[in-house]
A and B are shown apart, each in its own frame.
Chain A
Amino acid sequence: MIELQDISIAFTAKDRTVRAVRNASLSIASGQIFGIVGTSGAGKSTLLRAINLLEPPDSGLVLLDGRDITGLKGAALRRERQKIGMIFQHFNLMLTRTVYDNVAFTLHIAGKSRQEISERVPELLGLVGLSDKADAYPAQLSGGQKQRVGIARAIANHPQVLLCDEPTSALDLETSAAILELLKEINERLGITIVLISHEMSVIKKICTRVAVMNAGQIIEEGEVYDIFATPREEFTRQLVEHTLNLDLPARLTEDLRGTLLKILFLGERAEQPLLSEVALRFGVSINILHGKIEYINSRALGILVALLDHDRSEDGASRLGEAIEFIRQNTAHVEVLHA
């Protein structure tokens, strides 16, 4: 259990003060994969570093399993840090040491004996799938392999928590997916709580269960990833989600539309019912689906359709269209009229 209470961190550069994190509070349950998302400069990296006190907060408290670690210094702080693993965007491996020695280094720090180290390192390298690279230097590895070394050394001392600072931002899509898969596996198999920051909602969507959204140093929204995607409360979050779902229509389609353009959100089981065909039959309106997708977040379905509804030339056509939209509204999670 990680608790951040009312954390504020400011930097003073020359003559101005940047308030990187402002009154941020979070509670992260053990065993979770918790995401913090936000644009660059939102303060998420600083907030992450408050957890292992690489950025000691100016005010507020950091609690690990109920123990206040905020004021720890020297050897006590170092012992605490040995229980918190961390991986980085640019891997930060020691270039003059082999893969083996990079992993051994964190074990050394924790005071492990030579024999313990020689048993543990191969085990860790096996876990991240790099058994054959023990004697390679980081410069000889690909980005994905470097991050695997980073993960191996970060979990070497059986930490309770693994902090991930944009772990996939320097990797291509495929490698990125593999690394996220590995993190998920580590979380499930070893029960390590993972706190991950990213500027990409798609990364959060892939592995996190809960997410906090940061903007300009503040946490503006927090909740289950599914809920944040389904019903974002803040405008900033809504933009992030929309950007990820990517439901833009080409301009050609929206220029001379006839009818009403709806964005319909289906949640859970509703996403699996044949609602639109029922509407077409019952209200006699035409339905043309222009865009749509179903996302599965933590194996729950989230369906979004962009559909054009139109009525025929008969007298009550317009009112039937109105009824149809109302019917859809009642039977789905959310309906947004994009164009009327």
Chain B
Amino acid sequence: MLELLLPLLDDLKPAFGETFLMVGISSFFAIAGGLPLGFLLYITERRLFWENQAAHAIGNVLVNVIRSLPFVILLVLLLPFTQWVLGTTIGPAAAAVPLSVAAIAFYARLVEGALCEVDPGIVEAAQAFGASPLRIVGSVLLREALPGLLRGLTVTLISLIGYSAMAGIVGGGGVGDLAIRFGYYRYQTDVMIVTVIALVILVQAVQALGDLAARRADKKG
């Protein structure tokens, strides 16, 4: 077993590096883009301080369109966009572009859901005490929804690890790509098994960390 693993390690290490890079970049955009978009979806739908049916409808359709495309299709569809942004479509950074787009839409929905879980009465109380919209978003909604936001982020991260395997198709590399190239095309079942085990461990670790963080943030008892 060990003599089989050692040479594989040389392939696994860069593959994991690429996976981490792709997931890292797209997670960053999931938070930077998905969080505001989720807030926008939530706020524009409510009679709070910026009810705006038009803005809500646009955001809603945008998220739905991206979410309704199978990721492989989105990947191919966004190739010209990736080319325009980065000047290349090869490599983990290029693969991170469609991953980020998918991640933003995916996480925005989960953010909206987490915000809906916050008792509207809590927001009403903050309004009654004269809190500004910025404070309601930053100190009330964000904080009260934090357990849900963290759980949503965990789900997003794990989905991104899965998606990143498909990114291998456009030359993104990563662990999934390794499994397909060696394990599938070259019939090296042992490589397949090792990569699968590695992925399972990775996902378990992410889930465990996410659960831990969410539990610590959750004071509902």
Binding site for B on A (CB under 8 A): 52, 54, 75, 77-82, 84-86, 88, 90, 92-97, 105-106, 108-110, 137-140, 153-154, 157, 163
Q: Quick check: B135 and A96 within 8 Å, CB to CB?
A: no
Per the bound structure, the CA–CA distance linking A94 and B121 in Å amounts to 9
Closest CB-CB distance, B15 to chain A, in whole Å? 39
Question: In the complex, which residues of chain B have a beta carbon less than 8 angstroms from the beta carbon of A52?
Answer: 128
Closest CB-CB distance, A115 to chain B, in whole Å? 20
Per the bound structure, the CA–CA distance linking A80 and B127 in Å amounts to 12
**Among listed B22-30, B160-168, B213-221, interface-contacting one:** B213-221
Extra pairs beyond A105-B139, A154-B129 (12, CB < 8 Å): A75-B132, A80-B130, A81-B128, A86-B125, A86-B128, A88-B125, A95-B122, A105-B129, A108-B139, A109-B132, A139-B220, A139-B221
Per the bound structure, the CA–CA distance linking A137 and B218 in Å amounts to 10
Chain B residue with minimal CB distance to A91?
B121
Interface centre among A77, A82, A96, A137 (most CB of B within 10 A): A96
For chain B, give the interface size range: 20 to 34
Q: Quick check: A137 and B124 within 8 Å, CB to CB?
A: no
Closest CB-CB distance, A42 to chain B, in whole Å? 20
Which B125-158 residues have C-beta < 8 A from chain A?
125-132, 135, 139-140, 143-144, 146-147
Closest CB-CB distance, A277 to chain B, in whole Å? 56
Closest CB-CB distance, B158 to chain A, in whole Å? 24
Question: In the complex, which residues of chain A have a beta carbon less than 8 angstroms from the beta carbon of B221?
Answer: 137, 139-140
Q: Quick check: A82 and B129 within 8 Å, CB to CB?
A: yes
Chain A residue with minimal CB distance to B128?
A86
Q: Quick check: A96 and B146 within 8 Å, CB to CB?
A: yes
Q: Is B11 among interface residues, defined by CB-CB distance under 8 A? A: no
Chain A residue with minimal CB distance to B131?
A109
Per the bound structure, the CA–CA distance linking A85 and B125 in Å amounts to 10
Q: Quick check: B219 and A137 within 8 Å, CB to CB?
A: yes
Question: In the complex, which residues of chain B have a beta carbon less than 8 angstroms from the beta carbon of A105?
Answer: 126, 129, 139
**Residue of A82, A92, A138, A163 touching B130 (CB-CB under 8 A):** A82
Q: Can you pick out 11 interface pairs between chain A and chain B where the beta carbons lie within 8 Å of each other?
A: A52-B128, A80-B130, A81-B127, A81-B128, A84-B128, A86-B125, A88-B124, A92-B121, A93-B122, A96-B143, A140-B221
Known: A88-B121, A88-B125. A95 touches B144 (CB 8 A): yes
Q: Quick check: B131 and A95 within 8 Å, CB to CB?
A: no
Question: In the complex, which residues of chain B have a beta carbon less than 8 angstroms from the beta carbon of A78?
Answer: 130-132
Question: In the complex, which residues of chain A have a beta carbon less than 8 angstroms from the beta carbon of B128?
Answer: 52, 54, 81, 84, 86, 163
Closest CB-CB distance, B216 to chain A, in whole Å? 11
Which B196-217 residues have C-beta < 8 A from chain A?
217
**Residue of A85, A86, A139, A154 touching B219 (CB-CB under 8 A):** A139
Closest CB-CB distance, B130 to chain A, in whole Å? 4
**Residue of B122, B139, B146 touching A92 (CB-CB under 8 A):** B122
User: Shortest 5 CB-CB distances between A and B: which pairs?
Assistant: A139-B221, A81-B130, A92-B121, A78-B130, A92-B125
Per the bound structure, the CA–CA distance linking A181 and B105 in Å amounts to 52
Closest CB-CB distance, A97 to chain B, in whole Å? 7
**Residue of B127, B139, B144, B217 touching A54 (CB-CB under 8 A):** B127
Known: A92-B121, A94-B140. A81 touches B129 (CB 8 A): yes
Per the bound structure, the CA–CA distance linking A213 and B101 in Å amounts to 57
Question: In the complex, which residues of chain A have a beta carbon less than 8 angstroms from the beta carbon of B144?
Answer: 94-96
**Residue of A77, A80, A92, A138 touching B124 (CB-CB under 8 A):** A92
Closest CB-CB distance, B60 to chain A, in whole Å? 19
Chain A residue with minimal CB distance to B120?
A92
Closest CB-CB distance, A272 to chain B, in whole Å? 45
